Amino acid sequence: MTKYRVAVIFASIAVLSFLAPFGTAAAKPASHSSNPLVIGTAASPPMGPGPGRIFLVNPVGMGVRSGSFGKAGTPSGNSFFAAYGRSGAVYVPTLAGKMIVLNAESLKETTAFPVISAARLARVVPRHNLVLVLSAKGIAAYGLKTRRPAFSLPIGGNAIAVNAAETRAFIGGNMDTHITEITLPQGRVIGTKRIAHSGDLLIARGKLFSANMKSGILSILDLKSGNITKIRTKEVDPAFSYDHIPAANAGFMQLAASSSGRIVYAAGFSGHILKFSTVHDKYLGEISVIAAKHGPNKLSGLAIVDHGREALVTIENRHEAALVALGTGKIVHVFPGVTSNRWVVSQRP
């Protein structure tokens, strides 16, 4: 048997298809709990046209559905971070300034509406029936039902985190010297936090985690006390350049939390998944993901699944995603041709 437990055949990624494992590997037994789905738009450059494709991964059945949005080869096909709504809708912001709404099961478009230009990231705020949309230059909120603007601010970036009560949102960016805090649903600016260069943001157990892609520093802000802890790691490339990220040998990418919230994981461009304690604000080490023994294994998109036992991670330079056992780092399953810079975990509607 090959090194990986399964292989996958793509019949045609241009057509919606369900990819089932074949050969000697058997699919996982169905869970009695709700079956999580992991959704991500296909990897795209920060500017310009995109492939206009989206993936829905079933980590239990180890299958994939592929759909399309916008128009491939244009800005309407470029999206960085989709959002999931409890109604079973997927919100895909695009550089063309258009929000495309897809059905989470079929990945077919149900509606679309205009949003701020150069939109790249979306986040649903269910309590207030809002979807937040972020570009490099601004953030705006829109009603999930009305599609009308609720507020707009000239505060841009590439990362948003919303607290559990959905009363605050935090906005950061790779080029920013601070994180901006705003109220929800009003969109009023409260102030800033002295944490710079946020490649990704995550809130777990009342703390805000910020990944600095360039320095390899994970900053932790206690939202109650205001204390900031900075943890240095080896996830740093001295020659790192934002203009040539694909050439980097290290750097933080997406953050994700365990189901209990006690551990935060970070995908590293070095080929490691890094672990941090949310209880003690400590670095717990790294998990090596070896897809190729002698080649780079640059990890970007990351989602924690199977009740915290596994991770779905994009191996960007290999143009594939892999399901990884977090206890051992062993690759359980490979999804060829499936790449997303940012994954979002949902539940079946």
Is the pLDDT assigned to residue 31 strictly greater than 60?
A: no
Question: What's phi and psi for 258, nearest 5 deg?
Answer: -70, 165
Among the residue ranges 11-15, 34-38, 154-158, 225-229, the one predicted with the least confidence is 11-15
User: Encoding tokens for residue 346?
Assistant: 């949902």
Q: Tens of pLDDT along 228-249? A: 999 999 999 999 999 899 999 9
| Per-residue model confidence (pLDDT) at position 347 | 64
**Distant-in-sequence, close-in-space partners of 88: CB < 8 Å, separation ≥ 6:** 103, 104, 105, 348, 349
Contact in structure between 69 and 102 (CB atoms under 8 Å): yes
Give the per-residue pLDDT at 154: 97
Contacts of 232 (CB under 8 A, 6+ apart): 216, 217
CATH fold of 36-347 reads Methylamine Dehydrogenase; Chain H (2.130.10)
Can you tell me the mean pLDDT for 268-294? 94
Instruction: Specify whether the backbone of 120 is left (phi greater than 0), alpha (psi in -120 to 50) or beta.
Output: alpha
What is the pLDDT averaged over residues 175-194?
Answer: 97
122 near 132, Cβ under 8 Å?
yes
Separation between Cα atoms, residue 234 and residue 215, nearest integer Å: 9
The DSSP result for 262-283, as a single string, is SEEEEEETTSEEEEEETTTTEE
Say which residue the tokens 């369900």 belong to.
18
Angle, alpha carbons 294-298-303 (nearest 5°): 130
Residue 309, token pair as written in the block: 């036992």
Tokens of 252: 């933080």
Which of 17 and 140 is assigned the larger pLDDT? 140
Ranges 12-16, 49-53, 133-137, 333-337: which has the least confidence:
12-16
Cα–Cα distance list, 18 to 53, 69, 160, 229, 343 (Å): 15, 17, 31, 44, 18
> pLDDT per residue over 80-129, tens digit each?
999 999 889 999 999 999 999 999 989 999 999 999 999 999 999 999 99
> Predicted confidence band at 20 (pLDDT cuts at 50, 70, 90)?
very low
CA 186 to each of CA 39, 169, 192, 195: distance values in angstroms, whole numbers, following the listed order: 29, 11, 17, 24
Residue pointed to by tokens 């058997």: 26
User: How would you classify residue 125: left for phi > 0, otherwise alpha for psi between -120 and 50, otherwise beta?
Assistant: beta
**Is the CB of residue 103 less than 8 Å from the CB of residue 111?**
no
Say how far apart CA 341 and CA 225 lie, in whole Å. 32
Gap between the Cα atoms of 322 and 303, Å rounded: 11
pTM of the model: 0.88
